[in-house]
């Protein structure tokens, strides 16, 4: 096994947060997508798709932040309460929210919030982005219902599903300007109050710089 390397922040924050929670050593390799992934051939060799994050574990490379969380938990977090076992009564909710955080929430918010910011003049306000925002709102109701029932996505205890969903809510608030409900704000305060989150924020310097520029922190 080689050293674990996380390529890129963005959703890589989820990966770093989990690594901090698990107490695993890792290296964070900066990836700046602004000049285009083509300007970073070493990164393109790791992920020819040109998106972040990627995880390198010796000879093994994988992408997709949720797949990376599952990989790390299965390989290095066996028995960790961050990943309830299949027999656990919280397993179904755990699986659901682990994936909803990306496929339902961050993914839809990405297409709601980013195109209006980067589209050529006159094309920023478009039907597809508004529709993506509508989809985000629909999926967010599952989070609202869960928070009315329990403090965390899988129930009474913090799990990797909270890493997934907290990232999505933070992204929606910071990038999409989405106002958090009282329950969501209290939830994010709970999850991001963890030492693991703070350590991840200190490690992810690009994310930290951006978040502090929004008036949050210091971490």
Ligand X SMILES: N[C@@H](CCC(=O)N[C@@H](CS)C(=O)NCC(=O)O)C(=O)O
Match 């693991």 to its residue by tokens: 196
**Residue 50: left if φ>0, alpha if ψ -120 to 50, beta else—which one?**
left
**Cβ neighbours of residue 118 under 8 Å, at least 6 residues apart?**
none
Q: Does 164 bind ligand X (CB under 6 A)?
A: no
Binding residues with ligand X: total (CB under 6 A): 11
**What b/e sequence results for 94-131 when a residue is b if at least 16 CB atoms lie within 10 Å of its CB, and e otherwise?**
bbbbbebbbebbbbbbbbbbebbeeeeeeeeeeeebee
- Cβ at position 89, least distance to ligand X in Å: 27
Q: Does 33 bind ligand X (CB under 6 A)?
A: yes
Asked if 165 and 153 touch (Cβ cutoff 8 Å), the reply is: yes
Task: Give me the residues paired with residue 55 across strands.
Answer: 6, 62
Which C-beta is closer to ligand X: that of 38 or that of 121? Answer: 38
Q: Does 51 bind ligand X (CB under 6 A)?
A: yes
Match 């709601």 to its residue by tokens: 112
Q: Does 64 bind ligand X (CB under 6 A)?
A: yes
Determine which residue in the list 7, 10, 143, 155 makes contact with ligand X, applying CB under 6 A.
10
- Cβ at position 50, least distance to ligand X in Å: 5
Subset of 67-106 contacting ligand X (CB under 6 A)? 102
Which C-beta is closer to ligand X: that of 10 or that of 77? Answer: 10
Determine which residue in the list 3, 23, 50, 124 makes contact with ligand X, applying CB under 6 A.
50
- Taking alpha carbons only, the member of 167, 163, 156 closest to residue 196 is 163
* Residue 167 CA to its chain's centroid (Å): 4
Which C-beta is closer to ligand X: that of 151 or that of 174? Answer: 174
Which C-beta is closer to ligand X: that of 32 or that of 216? Answer: 32
**What b/e sequence results for 26-59 when a residue is b if at least 16 CB atoms lie within 10 Å of its CB, and e otherwise?**
bebbebeeeeebeebeebeebbeeeebbbbbbee
Q: Does 119 bind ligand X (CB under 6 A)?
A: no
- Cβ at position 102, least distance to ligand X in Å: 5
Give me the residues that bind ligand X (CB under 6 A), please.
Answer: 10-11, 33, 50-53, 64-66, 102
């Amino acid at each position: 096994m080689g050293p674990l390397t996380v390529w890129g922040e963005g959703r890589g924050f989820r990966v770093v947060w989990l690594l901090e929670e698990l107490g695993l050593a890792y290296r964070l390799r900066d990836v700046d997508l602004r000049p285009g992934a083509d300007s970073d051939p070493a990164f393109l060799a790791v992920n020819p798709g040109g998106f972040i994050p990627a995880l390198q574990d010796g000879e093994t490379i994988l992408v997709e932040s949720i797949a990376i969380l599952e990989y790390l938990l299965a390989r290095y977090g066996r028995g960790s309460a961050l990943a309830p076992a299949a027999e656990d009564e919280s397993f179904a909710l755990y699986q659901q929210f682990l994936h909803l955080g990306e496929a339902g929430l961050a993914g839809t918010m990405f297409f709601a919030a980013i195109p209006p910011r980067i589209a050529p003049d006159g094309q920023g306000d478009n039907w597809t982005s508004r529709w993506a925002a509508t989809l985000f709102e629909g999926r967010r109701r599952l989070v609202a219902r869960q928070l009315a029932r329990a403090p965390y996505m899988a129930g009474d205890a913090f799990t990797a599903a909270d890493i997934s969903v907290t990232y999505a809510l933070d992204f929606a608030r910071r990038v999409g300007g989405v106002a958090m409900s009282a329950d969501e704000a209290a939830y994010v305060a709970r999850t991001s109050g963890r030492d693991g989150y703070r350590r991840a924020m200190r490690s992810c310097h690009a994310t930290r710089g951006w978040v502090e520029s929004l008036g949050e922190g210091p971490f």
